[in-house]
Amino acid sequence: MEIMLAKQGDIGYINESMACYNVHSGGAWSTLPRTIRNEDVIKFYHYINPYLDFRFDATIRTIVSDLHYELAWLYKSQGDTIKAQSNLLGYALNMPSRDKLFQAQLIKIIILFYFPYSCAILNKIKNALKQMKAITR
């Protein structure tokens, strides 16, 4: 709401407490599953970005990308492959930086999410090679 009001004109700051906020474990937001909270925050940023004329697009895309990344792992841990892969795609598409480190990390994660059995076989081969190397020393 403050963002929308600020877009209409000047705003000010009052340097004193004008309200209180009760923090407790039974709040409506804090009791929601992390997946639902992340999805709601992503929707908020997708709504607010055009409203702000995309002036903060890189920052918003980075935040949204991080939320998708977390969601991908949460859904993967819950066994929801479709949502995990969908959020992995959201992670890749929203990340503003496309440097080589990002690309390498993304390739590893894509292989893990889309080809989990191949990863298991490759890990077994890797461990076997380590054991053979240790024996030959």
pLDDT in tens, 72-90: 999 999 999 899 989 988 8
Q: Is the pLDDT of residue 2 over 80?
A: no
User: Residue 32 gets which letter from DSSP?
Assistant: S
Any alpha helices (H) in the chain, and if so which ranges? 2-8, 34-51, 57-77, 81-94, 100-114, 116-136
CA–CA distance, 73 with 66 (Å, rounded to integer): 11
pLDDT above 70: percentage of residues in the chain? 91
User: Residue 13 gets which letter from DSSP?
Assistant: -
More confident residue, 115 or 89: 89
Distance from the first to the final alpha carbon of the chain: 66
91 CB-contact burial (10 Å; exposed 0-12 / middle 13-18 / buried 19+): buried
Q: Is the pLDDT of residue 45 over 90?
A: yes
